[in-house]
C-alpha cells in the first residue's frame, strides 16, 4: 500500500489494513459522539440558568454511556489486533491517560449524582464541567503526543514519563477543547429551544472561529516537528490530490458559519462532524501507515493472523447489530428537549 | 520490600479492580432482579412490582454508573501498567477483551438509556425487552472477562512463539479448563450478592417502620425481602456445590494454589480440614493448627485417604504468599455458611409466620447486606493471590509483566486513585443511603379493585403525581 508493508503477503498484509480501517472508524465514532457530550460539559459552566444546565444534561444523559463505550473499543481494539502498539503507547502515555480516566470518572458519576444531590449539587456541576474539560484536554495531548512520535525498541516504550508534554501537545489539547465545544454547541442548537438555543448558536460561532484558528496553528506547527510530514503533502503529485482537502475544509467552515446565522437547526451539527472528519482525514494521511510513529507500522505491531481473523469474524457479525441498536437508542430520544424540566424530576430520577 | 514500579502497579491494580468488582457484582444480579420485577408487573399488573422496579432501578443506575467509570480504568491499565503482560498475551487475550466490548458493553449502554429514560417513549414490551438486554449484557460481559481471567489461571489452546503466546485453538482458549465453573461460581456469587443486599436493605426499611405501620408502606419492602430470601435459600446450597466442584479443578490444574488454600506443606493422604492455623512461610509449617482429621482429603478428593499436594513440592520462589490465600479462602467459606444459615432461618420463620416481624432476624439480615460483596472480594483474593507468583499460571511471572514506567509516576497515580475513589465512593454510598431512606413509593392509593388491575398506560397512572415527570408531557416526539 503506497510502497508500505511490501514484505507482507496475503492475509498478513490485508488484515492489518482492514483493522486499521475499523479502528479508525471506532476512534472517529468516539471523537464525534463523546466529543459532543464532552462539549456539552465544557459549555455547562457558562450556561446562564439551572434550567439550562438541566436541559443540556438531559440532552445527553440517555446516550453518554454508549458514547463512552467507543473509547473502550478503541483501547480494547488496539489490544485485540495491534497489541504491540497498545504495549508501547500506553506506558508512553501513562500520565495523560490516567488523568483523562480520572476526569472521565468525575464527569461520569456527575450524571447520576447530580440528580440525587440537594446541597451538594454545585459539586457535581463542577465535576461535570471540569471532568469534561480536562478529559478533552488530555485527549488532545494524547493526539499531539501521537503526532510527535514515541521512543521505542520495537516492542516496548523506551522514553521518559513526560516525553508527551511539549508546547505542541498543549496546543493540540487546547485545540480539542475548542473543537469539542463547537460540537457540543451545535448539538445544543439541534436539541434545545428558546433562549438556550440562541445562546448555543452564539457559542457555536465563537468556538467555530477558535477551532479554525487552532486547526491552522496546528497545521503550521507540524512541519517544525521534524517528522517530514509536510513532504507528504507538498510534493508532486500528492499536492494535486490533497489540495482539495484544505479547500473543502474552508468551505465547510464557511457553510457552517452561514447556517448558524440563518437559524438552521440540524445541519450545523452535521457540518461540524464533517469538519472533524476532514481534520481526521488529514491526520490519517499524515501518519499512515504508522500506528506507533515514527517507526512502527500497522504491520509491525499487529497480532497474529489467527487473532485478527478471530476478532474480525466477531466484528463482522456484531458491529452492524451494534450500529443498529445504537442508532435505535438515538432514535428513541430524537427531537428537542423540553423546556420545562424542573428540579431533576424527570426520567427515572 | 521495595516500593518499585512493580509493587506499586500491583497495589494499584489490586485497589482499582477490588473497587471495580463491587459494582458489577451488584449490578449483574440487580439487572436480572429488575427483569424479574418487570416481568411480574407485566404478567400480573400488580402496581407493587412497578413501584419496586422504579425504586431498584435508581439503585441500579447509581451502581452501574460507578461500575462503568471504574471499568474504563481497567481496560487501559493492562497497557499503562502491564505492557509486558499485554505483549505476551495480546494475541490471545486481546480478541477476548474486544469481544466483551462489542457483544456486551454496547448492548448494556444502548439499552440502559431506554431502560432509564425511555418510560414514555417506547411501549411496555419494548421497555421490558430493554431491561432484558441490559441484564443479558451484564451476563455476556461476565462471560468474556471471566474467560480471560480463567485463561490466566489455566491457560490452554496456545503455543509460545518468539516469547509470546499465540492462539492455536480458539475454542480451548475461550473454554479453558477453569472457565465454565468459574463463570457459574461468579455469576451465582453476583446473584447472591444482590439477593443479600436487597434482602438486607429491605429488612432495614422494615426495621425503620413500626410493624403496625400501614400495610401500604411496608408491602414493597416485604415483597422485596421475601423474593430475595427465597432466591438465597434455594441458591446458597447450589453455590456451595459449585464452589466445591470448582475446588476440584484447582486441585487438578493449580496444585500449588490449592496447597496454599489448605495450608498444606507436605504432600499427604488423610489431610485434615484445617479450620484455623497460622502458616509460617519461613519454617514451612503451621502453628496453632485446629483441624478435623481426614475431612480435608474428603472434601477435595471425595475420598478420606485422598492425596493432597503440598507447598514444599515446588521451590519457595514458585509459591504464592500463603497467609492471604489461606485466610481469604476461609473468610469466603465462613460467609457462605452464614448465608446458608440465614436461608434456613428464613424458612423456619416463614413456617412460623413471623418472617417480617422477628426483629432479631431482620437485624441479622440487615447486617448481612454487604456479605455477598465480602464473599466475592475474598474469593477473588484467593483466586488471584493464589495464582502468584505467576500472572499467566506457569508461563509468565508477574514480575516480568510490568511496564517500563517509573515508580514516581505509579506512586502519583496510585495516590490519585485512592483519593478520587474514596471521594466518589463516599458520595455514591451517601446517595444510595438517601435513596434507601426514602424507600419505594408507597402504594396506598392503589387498593381494592384497582390492585391487580392493569392500567392502560402503566407508567402514567394518577399516583405518578408524587414522582411527577413534567418531561412526560413536554417531551413530544418530533
The CA angle A210-A216-A220, to the nearest 5 degrees, is: 145
Contact A86 B84 (CB under 8 A): no
Task: Out of A180-194, A245-259, B142-156, B430-444, pick the least confident.
Answer: B430-444
pLDDT in tens, A114-147: 888 778 888 899 999 999 999 999 999 999 999 9
Contact B116 A306 (CB under 8 A): no
Contact B94 A72 (CB under 8 A): no
C-alpha cell at B97: 477483551
Contact B70 A105 (CB under 8 A): yes
Query: How close, in Å, is residue B92 to chain A by CA atoms?
Result: 7
End-to-end Cα distance, chain A: 53
Distances (CA, A) of B228 to A32, B207, B216: 43, 17, 19
Cβ-proximal residues to A25 (8 Å cutoff; 6+ apart), any chain: none
**Taking CA atoms, what residue in B is nearest to A104?**
B69
Query: How close, in Å, is residue B243 to chain A by CA atoms?
Result: 31
Low-confidence stretches of chain B (pLDDT < 70) are 1, 210-213, 216-217, 442-478
Contact A341 B118 (CB under 8 A): no
> How would you class A220 by CB atoms within 10 Å of its CB: exposed for 0-12, middle for 13-18, buried for 19 or more?
exposed
pLDDT above 50 (res A261): yes
User: Number of residue pairs across A and B with CB atoms under 8 Å?
Assistant: 273
pLDDT at residue A31, as a whole number: 92
Contact B68 A68 (CB under 8 A): yes
Cβ-proximal residues to A241 (8 Å cutoff; 6+ apart), any chain: none
Cβ-proximal residues to B478 (8 Å cutoff; 6+ apart), any chain: A334, A335, A336
Three-state DSSP state, A297 = strand
Contact A79 B469 (CB under 8 A): no
Mean pLDDT of A75-103: 88
Output Rg (C-alpha) for chain A, integer angstroms: 21
Three-state DSSP state, A291 = strand
Asked if residue B146 lies in contact with residue A289, where contact means CB atoms within 8 angstroms, the answer is: no
pLDDT at residue B452, as a whole number: 42
Dihedral (CA of B164, B167, B173, B174) sign: positive
Three-state DSSP state, A5 = coil
* Averaged confidence pLDDT in chain A: 88
C-alpha cell at A171: 496546543
pLDDT above 90 (res A36): yes
C-alpha cell at B164: 509470546
Nearest-angstrom CA–CA distance, B5 and A93: 16
Which range is most confident: A151-160, A328-337, B180-189, B260-269? B180-189
pLDDT at residue A254, as a whole number: 94
**Taking CA atoms, what residue in A is nearest to B163?**
A155
Asked if residue A190 lies in contact with residue A268, where contact means CB atoms within 8 angstroms, the answer is: yes
Asked if residue A241 lies in contact with residue A232, where contact means CB atoms within 8 angstroms, the answer is: no
Contact with chain A for residue B208, Cβ under 8 A: no
Contact B65 A310 (CB under 8 A): no
Output Rg (C-alpha) for chain B, integer angstroms: 24
Residue B69: its chain A contacts at CB < 8 A? 104-105, 108-109
Residue B409: its chain A contacts at CB < 8 A? 94-95, 161
Residue A78: its chain B contacts at CB < 8 A? 79
Query: Which 448-477 residues of chain B touch chain A by CB within 8 A?
Result: 467-477
pLDDT at residue B305, as a whole number: 82
Rounded to two decimals, what is the model's pTM? 0.86
Dihedral (CA of B109, B111, B115, B117) sign: positive
Task: Out of A55-69, A207-221, B447-461, pick the least confident.
Answer: B447-461
Nearest-angstrom CA–CA distance, B153 and B59: 33
Contact A310 B416 (CB under 8 A): no
Mean pLDDT of A89-114: 90
The CA angle B75-B79-B81, to the nearest 5 degrees, is: 105
Interface mutation vs chain A, best among B51, B63, B70, B101, most A CBs within 10 Å: B101
Task: Out of A51-60, A248-257, B119-128, pick the least confident.
Answer: B119-128
Tell me, what's the ipTM? 0.84
Asked if residue A183 lies in contact with residue A32, where contact means CB atoms within 8 angstroms, the answer is: yes
Contact A329 B87 (CB under 8 A): no
Contact A79 B97 (CB under 8 A): yes
Residue A23: its chain B contacts at CB < 8 A? none
Give the distance from CA A111 to its chain's centroid.
20
Contact A79 B406 (CB under 8 A): no
pLDDT at residue B343, as a whole number: 93
**Taking CA atoms, what residue in B is nearest to A92?**
B80
Query: How close, in Å, is residue B375 to chain A by CA atoms?
Result: 26
Amino acid at each position: 500500500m503506497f510502497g508500505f508493508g511490501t514484505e507482507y503477503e496475503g492475509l498478513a498484509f490485508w488484515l492489518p489494513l482492514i483493522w486499521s480501517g475499523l479502528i479508525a472508524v471506532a476512534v472517529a465514532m468516539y471523537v464525534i459522539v463523546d466529543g459532543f457530550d464532552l462539549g456539552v460539559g465544557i459549555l455547562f459552566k457558562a450556561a446562564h440558568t439551572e434550567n439550562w444546565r438541566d436541559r443540556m444534561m438531559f440532552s445527553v444523559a440517555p446516550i453518554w454511556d454508549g458514547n463512552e463505550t467507543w473509547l473502550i473499543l478503541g483501547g480494547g481494539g488496539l489490544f485485540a489486533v495491534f497489541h504491540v502498539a497498545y504495549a508501547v503507547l500506553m506506558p508512553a502515555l501513562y500520565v495523560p491517560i490516567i488523568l483523562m480516566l480520572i476526569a472521565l470518572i468525575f464527569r461520569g458519576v456527575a450524571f447520576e449524582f447530580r440528580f440525587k444531590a440537594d446541597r451538594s449539587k454545585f459539586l457535581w456541576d463542577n465535576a461535570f464541567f471540569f471532568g469534561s474539560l480536562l478529559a478533552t484536554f488530555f485527549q488532545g495531548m494524547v493526539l499531539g503526543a501521537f503526532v510527535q512520535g514515541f521512543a521505542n525498541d520495537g516492542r516496548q516504550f523506551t522514553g521518559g514519563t513526560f516525553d508527551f508534554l511539549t508546547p505542541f501537545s498543549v496546543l493540540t489539547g487546547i485545540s480539542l477543547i475548542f473543537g469539542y465545544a463547537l460540537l457540543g454547541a451545535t448539538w445544543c442548537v439541534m436539541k434545545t429551544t428558546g433562549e438556550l438555543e440562541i445562546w448555543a448558536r452564539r457559542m457555536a460561532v465563537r468556538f467555530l472561529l477558535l477551532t479554525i484558528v487552532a486547526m491552522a496553528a496546528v497545521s503550521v506547527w507540524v512541519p517544525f516537528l521534524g517528522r517530514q510530514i509536510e513532504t507528504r503533502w507538498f510534493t508532486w503529485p500528492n499536492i494535486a490530490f490533497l489540495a482539495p482537502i484544505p479547500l473543502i475544509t474552508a468551505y465547510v467552515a464557511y457553510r457552517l458559519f452561514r447556517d448558524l446565522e440563518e437559524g438552521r437547526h440540524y445541519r450545523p451539527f452535521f457540518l461540524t462532524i464533517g469538519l472533524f472528519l476532514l481534520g481526521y482525514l488529514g491526520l490519517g494521511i499524515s501518519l499512515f501507515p504508522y500506528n506507533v510513529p515514527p517507526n512502527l507500522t500497522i504491520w509491525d505491531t499487529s497480532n497474529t493472523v489467527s487473532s485478527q481473523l478471530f476478532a474480525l469474524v466477531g466484528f463482522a457479525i456484531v458491529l452492524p447489530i451494534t450500529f443498529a441498536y445504537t442508532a435505535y437508542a438515538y432514535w428513541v430520544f430524537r427531537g428537542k428537549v423540553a423546556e420545562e424540566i424542573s428540579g431533576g424530576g424527570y426520567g427515572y430520577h | 520490600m521495595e516500593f518499585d514500579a512493580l509493587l506499586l502497579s500491583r497495589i494499584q491494580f489490586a485497589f482499582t479492580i477490588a473497587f471495580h468488582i463491587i459494582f458489577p457484582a451488584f449490578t449483574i444480579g440487580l439487572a436480572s432482579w429488575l427483569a424479574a420485577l418487570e416481568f411480574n408487573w407485566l404478567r400480573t399488573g400488580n402496581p407493587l412490582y412497578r413501584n419496586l422496579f422504579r425504586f431498584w432501578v435508581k439503585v441500579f443506575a447509581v451502581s452501574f454508573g460507578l461500575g462503568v467509570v471504574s471499568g474504563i480504568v481497567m481496560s487501559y491499565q493492562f497497557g499503562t501498567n502491564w505492557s509486558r503482560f499485554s505483549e505476551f498475551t495480546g494475541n490471545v487475550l486481546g480478541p477476548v477483551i474486544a469481544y466483551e466490548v462489542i457483544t456486551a458493553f454496547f448492548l448494556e449502554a444502548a439499552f440502559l438509556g431506554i431502560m432509564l429514560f425511555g418510560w414514555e417513549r417506547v411501549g411496555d414490551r419494548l421497555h421490558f425487552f430493554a431491561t432484558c438486554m441490559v441484564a443479558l449484557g451484564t451476563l455476556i460481559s461476565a462471560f468474556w472477562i471471566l474467560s480471560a481471567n480463567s485463561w490466566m489461571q489455566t491457560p490452554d489452546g496456545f503455543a509460545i512463539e518468539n516469547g509470546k503466546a499465540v492462539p492455536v485453538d480458539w475454542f480451548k482458549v475461550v473454554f479453558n479448563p477453569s472457565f465454565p465453573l468459574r463463570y457459574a461460581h461468579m455469576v451465582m456469587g453476583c446473584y447472591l450478592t444482590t439477593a443479600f443486599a436487597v434482602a438486607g436493605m429491605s429488612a432495614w426499611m422494615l426495621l425503620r417502620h413500626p410493624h403496625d405501620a400501614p400495610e401500604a408502606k411496608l408491602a414493597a419492602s416485604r415483597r422485596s425481602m421475601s423474593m430475595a430470601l427465597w432466591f438465597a435459600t434455594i441458591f446458597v446450597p447450589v453455590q456451595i456445590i459449585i464452589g466445591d466442584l470448582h475446588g476440584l479443578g484447582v486441585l487438578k490444574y493449580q496444585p500449588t494454589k490449592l496447597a496454599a488454600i489448605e495450608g498444606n506443606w507436605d504432600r499427604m493422604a488423610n489431610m485434615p480440614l484445617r479450620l484455623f492455623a497460622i502458616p509460617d512461610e519461613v519454617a514451612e509449617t503451621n502453628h496453632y493448627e485446629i483441624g478435623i482429621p481426614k475431612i480435608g482429603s474428603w472434601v477435595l478428593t471425595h475420598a478420606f485417604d485422598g492425596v493432597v499436594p503440598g507447598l514444599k513440592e515446588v521451590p519457595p520462589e514458585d509459591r504464592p504468599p500463603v497467609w492471604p490465600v489461606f485466610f481469604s479462602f476461609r473468610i469466603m467459606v465462613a460467609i457462605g455458611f452464614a448465608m446458608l444459615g440465614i436461608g434456613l432461618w428464613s424458612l423456619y420463620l416463614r413456617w412460623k409466620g413471623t418472617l417480617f416481624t422477628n426483629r432479631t432476624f431482620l437485624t441479622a439480615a440487615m447486617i448481612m447486606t454487604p456479605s455477598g460483596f465480602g464473599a466475592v472480594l475474598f474469593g477473588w483474593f484467593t483466586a488471584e493471590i493464589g495464582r502468584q507468583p505467576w500472572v499467566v499460571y506457569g508461563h509468565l511471572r508477574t514480575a516480568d509483566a510490568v511496564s517500563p514506567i517509573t515508580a514516581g509516576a505509579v506512586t502519583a497515580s496510585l495516590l490519585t486513585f485512592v483519593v478520587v475513589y474514596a471521594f466518589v465512593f463516599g458520595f455514591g454510598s451517601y446517595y444510595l443511603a438517601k435513596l434507601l431512606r426514602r424507600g419505594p413509593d408507597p402504594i396506598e392509593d392503589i387498593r381494592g379493585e384497582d390492585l391487580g388491575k392493569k392500567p392502560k398506560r402503566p407508567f402514567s397512572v394518577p399516583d405518578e403525581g408524587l414522582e411527577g415527570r413534567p418531561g412526560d408531557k413536554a417531551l413530544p416526539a418530533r
